[in-house]
Chains A and B, each alone.
Chain A
Amino acid sequence: SQQGEEDPQALSIQEGENATMNCSYKTSINNLQWYRQNSGRGLVHLILIRSNEREKHSGRLRVTLDTSKKSSSLLITASRAADTASYFCATSGTYKYIFGTGTRLKVLA
Protein backbone atom coordinates (compact mmCIF):
# COMPACT_ATOMS: atom_id res chain seq x y z
CA SER A 1 0.00 0.00 0.00
CA GLN A 2 1.17 3.52 -0.66
CA GLN A 3 2.67 5.32 2.31
CA GLY A 4 2.73 8.83 0.95
CA GLU A 5 -0.16 10.77 -0.47
CA GLU A 6 0.53 14.04 -2.20
CA ASP A 7 -1.86 16.93 -2.31
CA PRO A 8 -2.93 18.46 -4.60
CA GLN A 9 -2.88 15.89 -7.39
CA ALA A 10 -2.39 18.67 -9.92
CA LEU A 11 -1.35 22.31 -9.69
CA SER A 12 -1.15 25.00 -12.34
CA ILE A 13 0.56 28.34 -11.64
CA GLN A 14 2.09 31.29 -13.45
CA GLU A 15 5.83 31.65 -13.84
CA GLY A 16 7.28 33.56 -10.91
CA GLU A 17 4.67 32.34 -8.42
CA ASN A 18 5.40 29.95 -5.59
CA ALA A 19 4.23 26.35 -5.69
CA THR A 20 3.41 24.36 -2.58
CA MET A 21 2.68 20.67 -2.48
CA ASN A 22 2.02 18.48 0.50
CA CYS A 23 2.70 14.89 1.45
CA SER A 24 1.11 12.82 4.19
CA TYR A 25 2.33 9.45 5.37
CA LYS A 26 1.14 6.78 7.72
CA THR A 27 3.95 5.26 9.77
CA SER A 28 7.13 6.33 11.52
CA ILE A 29 9.95 7.30 9.21
CA ASN A 30 13.74 7.68 9.20
CA ASN A 31 13.61 10.41 6.63
CA LEU A 32 11.50 11.79 3.84
CA GLN A 33 12.75 12.52 0.35
CA TRP A 34 11.33 14.52 -2.54
CA TYR A 35 11.86 13.59 -6.17
CA ARG A 36 11.01 15.23 -9.48
CA GLN A 37 9.98 13.42 -12.64
CA ASN A 38 9.89 15.09 -16.01
CA SER A 39 7.33 13.71 -18.41
CA GLY A 40 8.07 10.10 -19.35
CA ARG A 41 11.46 10.05 -17.64
CA GLY A 42 13.04 8.64 -14.50
CA LEU A 43 12.94 10.35 -11.12
CA VAL A 44 15.58 12.76 -9.89
CA HIS A 45 16.33 13.27 -6.21
CA LEU A 46 15.72 16.81 -4.96
CA ILE A 47 16.12 16.91 -1.21
CA LEU A 48 16.12 14.74 1.91
CA ILE A 49 14.90 15.77 5.33
CA ARG A 50 15.63 13.66 8.39
CA SER A 51 13.02 12.81 10.97
CA ASN A 52 14.72 15.06 13.55
CA GLU A 53 14.73 18.06 11.22
CA ARG A 54 11.86 20.50 10.79
CA GLU A 55 12.94 22.52 7.79
CA LYS A 56 15.51 22.34 5.05
CA HIS A 57 16.47 24.56 2.12
CA SER A 58 18.16 23.88 -1.17
CA GLY A 59 18.25 26.71 -3.68
CA ARG A 60 14.64 27.59 -4.50
CA LEU A 61 13.34 24.56 -2.60
CA ARG A 62 12.11 24.61 0.96
CA VAL A 63 10.94 21.44 2.67
CA THR A 64 9.22 21.20 6.02
CA LEU A 65 8.48 18.12 8.08
CA ASP A 66 5.95 17.74 10.86
CA THR A 67 6.31 14.27 12.35
CA SER A 68 3.45 14.84 14.80
CA LYS A 69 1.10 15.31 11.84
CA LYS A 70 2.97 12.86 9.63
CA SER A 71 3.19 15.42 6.87
CA SER A 72 5.70 17.28 4.77
CA SER A 73 5.50 20.16 2.34
CA LEU A 74 7.65 21.17 -0.60
CA LEU A 75 7.75 24.82 -1.57
CA ILE A 76 9.25 25.93 -4.88
CA THR A 77 9.79 29.67 -4.93
CA ALA A 78 9.84 31.88 -8.03
CA SER A 79 8.79 29.00 -10.25
CA ARG A 80 10.00 28.64 -13.81
CA ALA A 81 8.58 26.84 -16.82
CA ALA A 82 11.36 24.28 -16.40
CA ASP A 83 9.85 23.32 -13.01
CA THR A 84 6.93 21.72 -14.86
CA ALA A 85 7.07 18.09 -13.73
CA SER A 86 5.58 15.61 -11.30
CA TYR A 87 6.81 15.69 -7.73
CA PHE A 88 6.86 12.69 -5.43
CA CYS A 89 7.57 12.25 -1.77
CA ALA A 90 9.20 9.04 -0.61
CA THR A 91 9.60 7.59 2.85
CA SER A 92 12.10 4.88 3.62
CA GLY A 93 12.69 1.98 5.93
CA THR A 94 15.89 -0.06 5.98
CA TYR A 95 15.93 -0.89 2.29
CA LYS A 96 12.54 -0.09 0.91
CA TYR A 97 11.42 3.29 -0.31
CA ILE A 98 7.70 3.99 -0.51
CA PHE A 99 6.55 6.61 -2.97
CA GLY A 100 3.39 8.65 -3.02
CA THR A 101 1.18 9.14 -6.03
CA GLY A 102 2.66 12.51 -6.97
CA THR A 103 1.65 16.09 -7.67
CA ARG A 104 1.64 17.23 -11.29
CA LEU A 105 2.91 20.80 -11.46
CA LYS A 106 2.45 22.95 -14.53
CA VAL A 107 4.15 26.33 -14.66
CA LEU A 108 2.77 28.61 -17.33
CA ALA A 109 5.11 31.06 -19.05
Chain B
Amino acid sequence: DVKVTQSSRYLVKRTGEKVFLECVQDMDHENMFWYRQDPGLGLRLIYFSYDVKMKEKGDIPEGYSVSREKKERFSLILESASTNQTSMYLCASTQHTELTSYNEQFFGPGTRLTVL
Protein backbone atom coordinates (compact mmCIF):
# COMPACT_ATOMS: atom_id res chain seq x y z
CA ASP B 1 0.00 0.00 0.00
CA VAL B 2 1.46 3.31 -1.09
CA LYS B 3 2.22 5.73 1.66
CA VAL B 4 3.12 9.31 2.44
CA THR B 5 3.96 9.89 6.08
CA GLN B 6 4.47 13.08 8.04
CA SER B 7 6.56 13.28 11.17
CA SER B 8 3.89 14.68 13.48
CA ARG B 9 0.09 14.87 13.53
CA TYR B 10 0.05 17.74 16.01
CA LEU B 11 2.78 20.22 16.86
CA VAL B 12 2.84 23.20 19.20
CA LYS B 13 5.69 25.68 18.95
CA ARG B 14 6.49 29.14 20.26
CA THR B 15 6.96 32.29 18.21
CA GLY B 16 10.52 32.56 16.94
CA GLU B 17 11.30 28.85 17.12
CA LYS B 18 12.74 27.01 14.14
CA VAL B 19 10.32 24.29 13.05
CA PHE B 20 10.98 21.24 10.89
CA LEU B 21 8.17 19.31 9.24
CA GLU B 22 9.24 16.05 7.66
CA CYS B 23 7.57 14.14 4.87
CA VAL B 24 8.55 10.71 3.58
CA GLN B 25 7.08 8.77 0.67
CA ASP B 26 7.76 5.16 -0.24
CA MET B 27 6.57 5.25 -3.85
CA ASP B 28 9.82 6.40 -5.47
CA HIS B 29 8.04 9.55 -6.68
CA GLU B 30 10.09 12.34 -8.18
CA ASN B 31 7.69 15.17 -7.35
CA MET B 32 6.88 16.29 -3.83
CA PHE B 33 4.80 19.21 -2.57
CA TRP B 34 4.07 21.16 0.59
CA TYR B 35 0.70 22.88 1.07
CA ARG B 36 -0.93 24.71 3.89
CA GLN B 37 -4.66 24.52 4.42
CA ASP B 38 -6.67 27.23 6.12
CA PRO B 39 -10.45 27.56 6.51
CA GLY B 40 -12.01 29.38 3.58
CA LEU B 41 -8.73 29.46 1.65
CA GLY B 42 -8.41 25.84 0.58
CA LEU B 43 -4.97 24.40 -0.11
CA ARG B 44 -2.19 26.78 -1.04
CA LEU B 45 1.10 25.60 -2.47
CA ILE B 46 4.18 26.62 -0.48
CA TYR B 47 7.00 24.81 -2.30
CA PHE B 48 7.46 21.84 -4.56
CA SER B 49 10.37 19.74 -5.71
CA TYR B 50 10.69 17.73 -8.91
CA ASP B 51 14.03 16.11 -8.12
CA VAL B 52 16.59 15.69 -5.39
CA LYS B 53 18.11 19.03 -4.41
CA MET B 54 15.70 20.85 -6.72
CA LYS B 55 13.00 23.15 -5.40
CA GLU B 56 10.53 25.64 -6.78
CA LYS B 57 8.53 28.30 -5.00
CA GLY B 58 4.80 27.92 -4.90
CA ASP B 59 2.24 30.63 -4.27
CA ILE B 60 3.13 31.46 -0.66
CA PRO B 61 6.83 30.68 0.00
CA GLU B 62 7.51 33.65 2.31
CA GLY B 63 8.64 32.56 5.75
CA TYR B 64 9.37 28.99 4.61
CA SER B 65 12.24 27.03 3.14
CA VAL B 66 12.57 23.42 2.05
CA SER B 67 15.16 20.70 1.76
CA ARG B 68 15.27 17.64 -0.49
CA GLU B 69 18.49 15.74 0.14
CA LYS B 70 17.02 12.32 -0.62
CA LYS B 71 14.37 11.33 -3.11
CA GLU B 72 11.97 10.00 -0.51
CA ARG B 73 12.18 12.89 1.94
CA PHE B 74 11.00 16.48 1.63
CA SER B 75 11.33 18.79 4.60
CA LEU B 76 9.55 22.07 5.25
CA ILE B 77 11.35 24.54 7.50
CA LEU B 78 9.93 27.52 9.30
CA GLU B 79 13.02 29.56 10.09
CA SER B 80 11.32 31.68 12.75
CA ALA B 81 7.78 30.57 13.44
CA SER B 82 5.07 33.21 13.68
CA THR B 83 1.47 33.00 14.82
CA ASN B 84 0.18 33.49 11.27
CA GLN B 85 1.84 30.20 10.35
CA THR B 86 -0.59 28.32 12.54
CA SER B 87 -2.21 25.99 10.04
CA MET B 88 -2.63 22.46 8.74
CA TYR B 89 0.35 21.44 6.63
CA LEU B 90 -0.07 18.76 3.98
CA CYS B 91 2.63 16.97 2.07
CA ALA B 92 1.95 15.23 -1.24
CA SER B 93 3.84 13.35 -3.93
CA THR B 94 3.29 12.37 -7.54
CA GLN B 95 5.07 10.21 -10.01
CA HIS B 96 6.87 12.11 -12.74
CA THR B 97 5.90 11.18 -16.27
CA GLU B 98 5.90 13.00 -19.55
CA LEU B 99 2.44 14.25 -18.64
CA THR B 100 2.92 14.85 -14.94
CA SER B 101 -0.21 16.93 -14.73
CA TYR B 102 -2.26 13.78 -15.35
CA ASN B 103 -1.01 12.10 -12.22
CA GLU B 104 -2.92 11.93 -9.00
CA GLN B 105 -1.36 13.35 -5.89
CA PHE B 106 -0.88 11.14 -2.85
CA PHE B 107 -1.24 13.02 0.41
CA GLY B 108 0.10 12.51 3.88
CA PRO B 109 -2.23 12.72 6.91
CA GLY B 110 -1.27 16.32 7.66
CA THR B 111 0.43 18.13 10.53
CA ARG B 112 -1.64 20.59 12.52
CA LEU B 113 0.82 23.22 13.68
CA THR B 114 -0.02 25.74 16.37
CA VAL B 115 2.35 28.64 16.97
CA LEU B 116 1.84 30.39 20.30
Candidates B104, B106, B112; contact of A48 at CB < 8 Å: B104
State in angstroms the CA–CA spacing of A95 and B101 once bound together. Answer: 6
Residues of A in contact (CB 8 Å), total 28
**Is A42 close to B, CB under 8 A?**
yes
**Is B21 close to A, CB under 8 A?**
no
Given contacts A2-B41, A41-B109, contact A95 B48 (CB under 8 A): yes
> In the complex the two chains form, is A92's CB within 8 Å of B101's CB?
yes
State in angstroms the CA–CA spacing of A22 and B91 once bound together. Answer: 25
**Is A70 close to B, CB under 8 A?**
no
> In the complex the two chains form, is A45's CB within 8 Å of B105's CB?
yes
| Shortest CB distance B48–A (Å) | 6
Looking across the interface, which residue of chain A has its beta carbon closest to that of B102?
A: A31
Residues of B in contact (CB 8 Å), total 30
**Is B58 close to A, CB under 8 A?**
yes
> In the complex the two chains form, is A42's CB within 8 Å of B109's CB?
yes
> In the complex the two chains form, is A40's CB within 8 Å of B112's CB?
yes
Given contacts A31-B101, A31-B102, A43-B90, contact A99 B43 (CB under 8 A): yes
Looking across the interface, which residue of chain A has its beta carbon closest to that of B90?
A: A42
> In the complex the two chains form, is A95's CB within 8 Å of B110's CB?
no
Looking across the interface, which residue of chain B has its beta carbon closest to that of A43?
A: B107
> In the complex the two chains form, is A43's CB within 8 Å of B101's CB?
no
**Is A101 close to B, CB under 8 A?**
yes
State in angstroms the CA–CA spacing of A5 and B44 once bound together. Answer: 13
> In the complex the two chains form, is B43's CB within 8 Å of A33's CB?
no
State in angstroms the CA–CA spacing of A31 and B1 once bound together. Answer: 26
**Is B28 close to A, CB under 8 A?**
no
**8 interchain pairs, CB-CB under 8 A:** A30-B101, A35-B107, A41-B109, A42-B107, A43-B92, A45-B105, A90-B105, A101-B40
Nearest 3 pairs between A and B by C-beta? A42-B107, A45-B104, A92-B101
